[in-house]
Structure 1
Amino acid sequence: MIPKDLNLLVALEALLREESVLEAAKALDLSPSAMSRTLARLRVATGDALLVRAGRSLVPTPHALLLRDQVREVTARASVLLSPAEETFAPETLERVFILRTNDGFLEAYGTILTEALLAEAPSVTLVFLPRRDKGATALREGRVDLEIGVIGPDDFGPEMRMKPLFHDRFAAVVRDDHPVVAAPLTPERFAACRHVVTSRRGALRGPVDEALEALGLHRRVAVVVPGFDDALRLAQGGALVALVPRSCLTRAGTSGLRAFDPPVETPGITVSALWHPRLNADPAHRWLRDRIIALVRQKAGPDALRS
C-alpha cells in the first residue's frame, strides 16, 4: 500500500543520513518538534524504531540500515522525475525523428547551416523536411509535423498555436538583365504594363502589389501563375516576365543574370516564422530543436532581419 504522504520518504532519507532529529530538521528546514512527530509517523509506517538512543546519540536499527541505501536511491530517482525536464536533457544522447515542413527556398538558404549544427550537437537525430504544399494546422495538431516554417497568415492556423518570428523580408521586382523595363526610370505605369509572373500555390491571379496599383487606377497583366518563387525566378531569367519575390530568394544559387529593384508602389512586408503545437511547448527535445533553429536562422539572416 502506497503511503498517503510520500514526503515521509524524504524525511526518512534525511533522518537515516544525519542520524539526528535536529540535523535532519535543519536539512529539511523544519522545526525539531515537527521532525520528531515525523519520526513517530515513520515508526508506525515501518513497524520499526528506526533510530534508537545510544548515549547522547541516535543510531540506526538493523532494519534502518537495510532501508538506508534503498531510500537514498528512491528519493534520488524521485528528484529526477520531479525536476524540470530540461535539467536532465542531453542532445548528444537524443535519438528522435523530427518532421519539419518548409519550402524549397528556405531549405536551400538555411538547410546546410541547420543540419550541420543540429547533427553536430545531436548526432543520432534524424531531420525530415517536407514541402509546404498547403497551409493549415491539421498536420501540427495530429503530430505529423513537429515544426512549420514559412510565412504564416492570420487565418492559416488556429489561435492556440505557438509562433516565433525568424526574420522579416520584403518584395523585390526581378527581371533579366537586358529586360526593356530597365532601360528607363521605372514608373507605376511602365511597371503595370509589363507581363508578370505571379507565385501562388492556389492559382490566385492577384498578389500583394495589385491593391497598390489599383489605388492609382492601374492594373498589371498577369501572364503566368506558378507554385513557387524559384519557378518565378526561372521564368523571369529566361523570358520577358517580371517576377515579384522576397529579397531573401535573391541570395540563392542560380540567380545570376537577373536584376532586382524595388517595385514603384508600396508592397507589404512579410515575416517568416516558426510554428508549433502547444503540446510540444515544454518538451525538452522539441524546445532544443526550435531554439537552435531560431537562433541559427536569425544569426545567418543578420541583426537587422527582425527590424520592421
Structure 2
Amino acid sequence: MRFQNLDLNLLVALDALLRERSISRAAKQLHLSQPAMSSALARLRTYFGDELLVAVGRKLELTSRAEVLKEAVRDVLMRVDTAIATPPAFDPSASDRKFQLIVSDYTVIALMPHVLALAARQSRSVRFDLIPLLDRPQRALESGDADLMVIPRTYALPDHPTELLFEEDFCCVVCNRSRFARSGELTLQQYGAAGHVAVQPPAMDKPTLDSWFKQRYLKAKRIEATTFSFAGAPYLVVGTDRIATMHVRLARLLRKSLPLTLFPLPTSMPMPRMQQMQQWHKHRSRDPGLIWLRGLMHEAVVRMDTEPDQNLPG
C-alpha cells in the first residue's frame, strides 16, 4: 500500500532503523535479512532526500531530518496498532500476550507478586516482562516499548493518562543491634546526626534527583552510603548505626528476613505521602488487554494491603 508514493511498509523499517540506529539490529528486530534492510534504507533515503542515518566513527547517528521523523513515525504506527491491530476483546485464558511493565524494585517486591498471583488464576499463558527504571524510562512508554509504567505521580509524564494505585508513607529503618533500637526511640536530633543510607534512583535527571534528595534527606547531614536499589537500602544498615528512610510496605516485608527495627519518621519531619501511579500511552486507553491489566493492578493493591504484619511499631 502506498501513500503519497511512499510504500507504507517502509514506515515499519524506518521506525526500526531510527530506534536501533543499526541496520543489523533493525533487520533482526523485523526478521529480515541485512541486505533487505539495507535496500529499505536506500529507498527511504531516496524518498526523503536525506541520508537519515550517517556514520560517525563506528556508529550510525540520526540526521536532523531523522530526529524529526523519529517521534512522528512512532506515533503513526502506534495509532495504527491501536486502531487496527489490537483485538476488540481480551480473553486472558486464551491469550499468550506479553505485557511489558516499567517498575522499580520496590514495586517488584511489594506489588508484583500479587499481580502475578491474580493473573495466574485467569491465565496460564499471559506473560509479564518487568523492565527496570533505568535511563529515562518514560521514553519506553512513549515509543510503545512498554505497556504500563508504575511510578510516583511527581515523575509521571504530563501528556499521558494516569491512575492512582495507592499511597505510601515512609519510615526509618535501623539494625536491631543499633543504639537506636536499643534505646527504643529516634528523635529528630538523632536522625540529623546519624549516618544515612540514601537511595539514588538511576532513572532521574539531575534536577529531579536534587528534588528527590531535598524531599527525603534534607535533615540527614551525613550520607554514608548510596544505592540504586530501594530493596538494597535496609541491607546496608545491618550491623551499623545507620538509618535508611524508606517505604513502609517494603520495610515491613524486609523486616521478616532481616534484623531490622522500624521507627516512624521523627516528629517535625513531615514527608508527603508518595502517590504511586500507573501510566499508559494516550493512544492505548481503549486497548482491551491493557484495560484488563490496569484492573488487575487495582485488585493486586487490595490483595497487597490485606496481607498480615501491616502495623508499624512505635
TM-score, structure 1 as length reference: 0.62
- SS state at 1:174 partner: strand
Structure 2 residue identity aligned to 1:171:
F
Is the contact made by 1:136 and 1:157 (CA closer than 8 Å) also made in structure 2? Answer: no
Partner of 2:7: none
Asked whether the equivalents of residues 90 and 292 of structure 2 are also in contact (C-alpha less than 8 Å), the reply is no
Structure 1 counterpart of 2:109: 108
* Matching residue's letter, 2:101: L
Task: Give the superposition deviation at 1:246.
Answer: 0.6
Distance 2:93 2:216 in 1: 47
State whether structure 2 residue 258 is matched by structure 1 residue 256.
yes
CA distance in 2, matches of 1:158, 1:247: 25
| Distance across 2 between alignment mates of 1:90 and 1:301 | 27
Q: What is the alpha-carbon distance in structure 2 between the residues aligned to residue 185 and residue 262 of structure 1?
A: 10
Query: 1:119: Cα distance to partner?
Result: 3.1
Q: Distance in 2 between matches of 1:127 and 1:266?
A: 37
1:151 partnered with 2:155? no
Residues 259-292 of structure 1: CA distance to partner in whole angstroms, max 9, x if unpaired? 1111212222112221111111101111111111
- Listed as ranges, the matches of 1:209-220 within 5 Å are 209-211=216-218, 213=219, 220=221
Task: Normalising by structure 2, report the TM-score.
Answer: 0.61
Change (3 A) 1:93 1:279: same
Cα–Cα, structure 1 residues 111 and 187, in superposed 2: closer, same or farther, change >3 Å?
closer
SS in 1 for 2:118: helix
Stretches of structure 1 lacking an aligned partner (at least 5 in a row): 1-80, 214-218
Which stretches of structure 1, 4 residues or more, deviate above 4 A after TM superposition?
202-205
- Deviation per CA, 1:165-201, whole angstroms, max 9, x where unpaired? 1111111111011211342643221211101111112
- Code of the aligned partner of 1:256: L
> What root-mean-square deviation, in Å, do the aligned CA atoms of Structure 1 and Structure 2 show?
2.8
Distance 1:245 1:225, change over 3 A: same
Structure 2 residues not aligned, in runs of 5+: 1-82
TM-superposed deviation, 1:136? 4.2
Which amino acid in 2 is paired with 1:168?
E
Check the 8 A contact 1:195/1:222 in 2, yes or no. Answer: yes
Asked whether the equivalents of residues 165 and 273 of structure 1 are also in contact (C-alpha less than 8 Å), the reply is yes
Displacement of 1:226: 0.9
CA distance in 2, matches of 1:130, 1:108: 14
1:243 counterpart letter in structure 2: A
Identity of aligned residues (%): 21
Equivalent in the alignment of 2:19: none
Are residue 284 (structure 1) and residue 285 (structure 2) matched? no
Aligned residues between the structures: 213
| Residue pair 1:170, 1:247 contacting (<8 A) in 2 also | yes
Matched letter for residue 163 of structure 2:
K
